[in-house]
Every structure is written in structure tokens, then in C-alpha cells.
Structure 1
Amino acid sequence: MYQIETKKQHDEMRVALRELLEDVYNEEEVLKNHLWIALKIGTISNIIQTHLQYEDEYLYPFLMEHDDENVREIAELYMREMSHVKRHFDNYKHKYISDPKAIKNEPGIFIEDTNRIIGEILNRVELEENRLFPLLIDEK
């Protein structure tokens, strides 16, 4: 159950991130589409918030009650690490959504920041699928 829902959320995240990347491949496109890009960042933010809430309310509490201490330790580590990814994304979101002109004013920096944060999020998704999903095989 948890694995299926988490995978569904990950897939939704991947689609939204790919859509953002489609508009962030060069400065000219960024300048042309900066308002649309800001809206996409807002959409991604909502998807991530929903996912994190699901993890906090269901996935991690389930793993923290696991009989295997190793599973509990991995869950605790992943919860701590996720706070770093969340903080980085929140900084990115604040920088570019609170003032969409920031996208337009420095498109080169925006492209770098976007590629960096998307890479970080996708790495996290892959880690969860490769390290956490196997722990969910014995779901109650």
C-alpha cells in the first residue's frame, strides 16, 4: 500500500519536473516563459508538499514502528536528510515565486538553480525507491 502510493507520487513529481525542464533549457525560453515557469514551480511545490505530508503522516511512522532496528535507523536517517532537500527547495521556491521577476532578471542563474534543485529532488526520489521501497516489502 505505502509503496504503491509513494511510487504514484514520485511519478507525478517526475512528470512535473520534466515539464519544468522543457521551459528551462536556454535563457531565451526562460525570458519568454517566466510567468508560466513560476506557475509550474508553484505546482511542483504543491506536489512536493503533499508527498512530504504523506511521508510524515504515514510512511515514516510505519517504518519507525518496524520490528527491525536497522529499518528504524534508515527511516530516521531519511527523515533527517529530507529536511535538507526540503530546505533547499523552499529557498529555491521563495527566491523565484515570491518575485517572478527574479527568473526574468537572471535567467542564467535561474537555469543553474533549477537544474541543481531538480537533480537533488530526482536523486532523493531514486534513493527512496532503491533503499526505502525494499523495506516496505513486508508491509503489515
Structure 2
Amino acid sequence: MVSFTELNQQNDTITELSNVLCLLISERAVWDTRVVTNLFFTYVDRVKEHLDLEERELYQSMLLHSDQRVRQTANKFLSGSGEIKRVFGQYLKQWSRSHELRINDYERFTKDTREMIQLVLNRIEDEVEHLYPTVREVQAAMK
């Protein structure tokens, strides 16, 4: 099973990338650079990797748990994971092609980007406050 250290490190990295991207969003010219494009797609990849890791390592045992509250928590987070992936997919379809950003309406791009980042940051907060404590309870009960 994945460690909470690894999950928290991933969340820290995603949060740091989110904060940097939010600072950079006000500078239109930097979004046409390879450096910021690479940073942006690193962020996208880290979010996807984190969600995939949780799906592989956390939810299966929770969905089969005898406690309904544990199953509900797993279903909620699994559903949220799917929603974030859906939003990312739509966002990337709108604003990129083949790992290249295509920004034709910067005002809309900044709005969409801020909303996407906030969605991810809210998810991280929910994981720390609700998902991980539930997983710890399940693991402790299994010992």
C-alpha cells in the first residue's frame, strides 16, 4: 500500500506547482515560453498521477469495507477523481494540442485555469481532512 508520506509529498508538489502557476497567470507573455509550458504540463501530469495512485492503492479495500461510512467516503472520492479527470480533459481539449498551449482568449484562459487549480486545491484539502483519516482508521482496524 502507498504510504501517507508519498501521498503528502505528491500533494505538496501539486500545491507548490499550483501556487507558482497562479502567480504566473497574471503575466501573459510567460505563457508562450517553453519553461512555463513545461511547468504547466508537469502540473497536469502530477495531478493525474496522484489521482491514479489513489485509485490503485486506496479505494478497492475501502469499497469492500463492512462500514458503510468507509464505502461512502471511497465512493465520494472516486467520483470526485472522475470529475477532476473529466474537467482536466475538457480544459486540455480547449487550451492545448500535443503538449502545446493554444491560448486564443487569454481572459477566458486565466479564468478557466484559476478554476481548475482551485478545484485541485480543494480536492487536496478534502483528502487531508477526510480521505486520509478514514484510510488510517481502516488500516488501524486491520492490524
Q: How would you bin the TM-score normalised by the shorter chain? A: 0.7 to 0.9
Letter aligned with residue 82 of structure 2: S
Question: Which runs of structure 1 show a deviation greater than 4 angstroms over 4 or more consecutive aligned residues?
Answer: none
**What's the offset of the Cα at 1:68?**
1.6
Q: Does 1:23 align with 2:24?
A: yes
Residue equivalent to 2:61:
62
TM-score (norm 2): 0.83
Match of 2:37 in 1: 38
Letter in 1 for 2:128: E
TM-score by length of 1: 0.84
1:130 and 1:116 mapped to 2: Cα distance? 21
| Mapped partners of 1:2, 1:101: distance in 2 | 34
Specify every segment of 5 or more residues in structure 1 that has no aligned partner in the other structure, as ranges: none
CA distance in 2, matches of 1:9, 1:68: 28
Distance 2:119 2:47 in 1: 13
Determine what percentage of the aligned residue pairs are the same residue.
24
* Superposed CA offset, 1:31-90 (max 9, x none): 343233332221112101211221111011132233322101210122112211211112
The change in CA–CA distance for 1:32 and 1:54 in structure 2 (over 3 A counts) is closer
Task: Between the two structures, name the one with larger relative contact order (CA 8 Å, sep ≥ 6).
Answer: 1
* Structure 1 counterpart of 2:132, one-letter code: F
RMSD of aligned residue pairs (Cα, Å): 2.0
Structure 2 unaligned segments of length 5 or more: list them: none
Contact 1:38–1:96 under 8 Å retained in 2: no
- Tell me by how many angstroms 1:16 deviates: 1.3
Per-residue displacement from partner, 1:108-132 (whole Å, max 9, x unpaired)?
A: 1111111111111111111111111
Aligned length: 136
Structure 1 residue aligned with 2:79: 80
- AA partner of residue 102 (structure 1): R
